[in-house]
Amino acid sequence: MLPDYEEFKHRADAVMARIAEACARSGRNAGDVELLAVTKSHPAAAAELAARYGLRAVGENRVQEGIDKRAQTTAAVAWELIGHLQSNKARLAARHFDRIQSVDSEKLLDLLDRSAAELGKVQAVLLQVNAGLDPVKSGVAPEEAPRLLAAALVRKNIRVDGLMTIAPLSDDPDVARRAFARLREIRDRLAAESATRLRELSMGMSADMDSAVAEGSTIVRVGTALFGPRT
């Protein structure tokens, strides 16, 4: 069950305060970290709550679920795909999502570039890197990231905004922090080598956002701390 707006605002304020505290400890500006509200498995009204609070965007894990929700609401937010993208859904994703954070292959780049060209748009993406070397997580291997970025940069209808990762599940918080640090190092190296800004680092969720912010995250993907447990 979704919280009402006052409860959502209370929760969002708490998350924003947590981000600000993590930034203060790391000597960062809190305005450099965006809160992305993850609405997966919640009703379309979750996007309305995020919009009313003033968040720029919401994140969805599944293409069709995001499409259905977007059709059900007039919420003034951008819609970002943060879950694994299958190649047979690439065309739909390009049509309905403002940014796709989970691009991890040249095949997907090809399909998205072609679809975006047909739609007359430039598709914003993040390249997903398996920075935690987790065998059950999606994302290109760290050593393959330079090749994937090079392939993305030559496609006219693709704009690479940065990188994304999902940390391995672990009781040891240092496991997530090492993954986040590795992604930042990869980004810094790729940005220097390619002369591309790659501003965004999408990393960190409800449980590990503090470590992510400490390591340079610019987008934290938060669902449970805002909306409660998923149904």
Domain of 200, CATH number, reads 3.20.20.10
C-alpha 119, offset from chain centre: 23
Structure tokens at 180: 């986040």
Beta strands per DSSP E along 55-194: 57-60, 78-81, 99-103, 123-128, 158-164
Read off the tokens for 231: 């149904």
Distance between CA atoms of 219 and 213, rounded to whole angstroms? 9
Residue 34 forms part of a structural domain: yes
Cα–Cα distance measured from residue 82 to residue 105, given in angstroms and rounded to the nearest whole number: 15
* 47 within a domain of the structure (yes/no): yes
Evaluate if residue 231 carries a pLDDT over 70: no
Domain that holds residue 146: 5-226
Instruction: Determine the average pLDDT of the residues in 163-187.
Output: 95
Q: In which element (H, E) is residue 92 found? A: helix 90-96
What amino acid is encoded at 141 in this protein?
Answer: A
The answer as to whether 129 is a domain residue is yes
Q: Does a structural domain hold residue 72?
A: yes
- Eight-class DSSP state of 84: -
Give 3-state DSSP helix, strand, coil % of the chain, rounded to 5: 50, 15, 35
- By percentage, how much of the chain surpasses pLDDT 90? 94
51 inside domain:
yes
DSSP string for 17-66: HHHHHHHHHHT--GGG-EEEEE-TTS-THHHHHHHHHT-SEEEESSHHHH
> Average of pLDDT values for 6-20?
98
pLDDT digits (tens, 9 = 90+) for 76-129: 999 999 999 999 999 999 999 999 999 999 999 999 999 999 999 999 999 999
Q: What pLDDT was estimated at residue 189?
A: 97
Backbone angles phi, psi at 53, to 5 degrees: -70, -25
- Number of folded domains that form the chain: 1
Predicted pLDDT of residue 171: 85
Q: Is the pLDDT of residue 161 over 80?
A: yes
The rounded mean pLDDT for the chain is 96
The pLDDT of residue 166: 96
Q: Is the pLDDT of residue 136 over 90?
A: no
Question: Per the domain annotation, does 231 fall within a domain?
Answer: no
